[in-house]
Structure 1
Amino acid sequence: MTQPKRNARRVALVSEHASPLAELGGPDAGGQNVYVAQLARTLALRGHDVTVYTRRDDPRAPETVRTPQGVKVVHVPAGPPTAVPKDELFAHMPEFGAHLARMWRHRRPDVVHAHFWMSGLAALTGSRDTGIPVVQTYHALGTVKRRHQGTEDTSPRERVGLEARIGIEADAVIATCADEVRELVAMGVPRDRIDVVPCGVDTSHFSPRPGARRPKGAPRRLLAVGRLVPRKGFDRAIRALAEVSDAELLIAGGPEAELLFADPEAERLRKIASEHGVAERVRMLGCVPQHQMPDLVAGADLLLSLPRYEPFGIAPVEAMACGTPVVATAVGGQLDTVVDGVTGVHVPPLDEADHDLAGVIRSLLDDPARLARYGAAGRTHALARFTWDEVADGVARVYSRLCSRSLPSEVAR
């Protein structure tokens, strides 16, 4: 049998609403699910004993599931065993944390890594008085959401205060970008407890596909990817398209294509496209299966990532991994991921000074050599900084620092 790797640890990942087993595309299934699944997989392949604790949202789900890579997924009973919007899960976190405490008394992990603020609450409850170090990754911060959404923010009112408390009580906080570090420090989280480790992308899946490029003479293709919510800035992309001739805009995200007619944001975007005379050049694809995304991304001339705010933003990283240049608003994680003038171009957010977005797009489309240069640099950048091995290296360094004062538990053979 395979012997455990030296310094292998028992790692508990807590992800209360984002299961690594979930099918992507639902309202609360996205980047965090991918992050937890890929981190767990990579750590397990390195010999660590990894368990992911997520809330049971289906009465038919078994108590535990073992993935092909050896990751154990535990479905924690907390609240009704049905789908519940994540903003309504706060009331069930004491039950979630109490269940973790019972499990960890029986089998103590070496380190706990919580994902999202409610997972942090449960992890701190489950590890109280045990000496188990707790690492927190927020994935998104309530302070940022409230600042930008105001009265439309549906998060529990306690969120902002509790996020600060979690950051202060956790043994370490992993931020995904420099902008998040600034937010955390402003919240009172000690700077010396914060490490920056970006999100990752599967660079073997998202890779250049020469055959996906548009044939000569076809309309130039702009692509925007993300959930269909106003903050993503798809409306801005549509308005810019009106001033970019011989180009089409594809928007990937939201419900399945046949359900787009009932989606309020899709309807709003359709109206904007009609008002600006580009309805024939805007195609809304709905939810695109993950196995089709690399061809879609690699076949675009430009990815437009224009959110008003973005905690990290994985779409630009996936585009760079495919060799596709990016036009991105200079916000959040995009300040770190997209290198202005090297892998793409930064533009101001919508609510800043007037900016000629269409002019930026035209200048790039009219310069094939520049597009090729940005695309090649993007692929190199993604391989250097955003592979899951790189992410796992950064996370494991944090775990090792916290566990250095005690020997790791013997990993089950």
Structure 2
Amino acid sequence: MSSQTTAPSPESPVLRAAARAREAAAALAPLPRADKDAALLAIADALDARTEEIVAANAEDVAKAREAGTAEGIVDRLTLTPERVRAIAADVRNVAGLPDPVGEVVRGGTLPNGIDLRQVRVPLGVVGIVYEARPNVTVDAAALCLKSGNAVLLRGSSSAYASNTALVGVVRDAVAGAGLPADAVQLVPGESRESVRELMRARGLVDVLIPRGGASLIRTVVEESTVPVIETGTGNCHVYVDAAADLDTAVRILVNSKAQRPSVCNAAETLLVHRDVADRFLPLALEALAEAGVTVHGDERVLAAAAGTKAAVVPATEEDWETEYLSYDIAAAVVDSLDEAVRHIRRWSSGHTEAIVTGSQQAARRFTQLVDSTTVAVNASTRFTDGSQFGFGAEIGISTQKLHARGPMGLPELTSTKYVVTGDGHVRG
């Protein structure tokens, strides 16, 4: 995108959609939990009932993606199967079962002068989501925004246009059938980049933008938007195998972190191994990764360890240490100490998720203290950094910034707060 943007016309379809969303948000804000939950359950039922329609629409997008030579990792993120649609519906039901954050008292009490002061959670208002080929985000975002009393404007990529159109149609019908305003959930009109620019310039109508996707998309939204942005980040995640690691456990965690679903942001992209266990661990790890179909981009010590194994190992370049592959590839290096592993992570990590495998409480404590990422896992796969896995029902994204929200963003992160001051004729002297 060009860095030059112009204010959209008041007659812009994007602004008209944003204005409708603002009206819908005002209607949603005071609704009781029961009304919002009923709408969510209606959405889940509609997804189950109309799965065939959704999968057929998605097949159009998948066929176009493959014709265009899209990488299989991206195609996997784009693909909806009946099983995945059922999982999305289950996540919506999980969101319905979560506590409503709106109205929660964050802090408060009675001041010395007798005034009652409460800080309470309130919806953000209108939330814009700009995302790439992940149609599940369409429903996750809609569900979380509705539960937290927000209207949502969804701008997915053109590569998922048929899928998103079908999903939003299902959601809007269910929402309207439950008595809530259908305009609480809208696709941003248009498939051109200009529609994204207009959304980014809709300050005063849109309260916050959340970009989800690759580094280029996120950077563009952060740098060009006049609407406040919650920055989500790419996932250059690390697994560090410590000198005190149980090696069988380390192999399981590594393979799960990398290969369980390599096309997502919480998949591991770099392996770091302490030199004291490298000779014993690397042959096991390389063989296991080879069986999972993973190509290893290794430093000199990893290349040496690959001799005599069936592993697919190629020399690592400087670029590999910063790469989010989203594929069956992983960078690997041997480090001389835990502190060297931490330095490597601090230099190359995107700040998403890092894991240590160790039997030492001291090593685990030092690693968690020194690593500055949204999530640090001890003896667990990086794949657990996920709103659903954390018990949030779903997530609106994984924030790698440090203001307002950090890590998987659930319902509380989709609220702001306001102060309610209650007196009895109090005046300030």
Please give the TM-score of this superposition, normalised by the length of structure 2: 0.34
Which structure has the bigger radius of gyration?
2
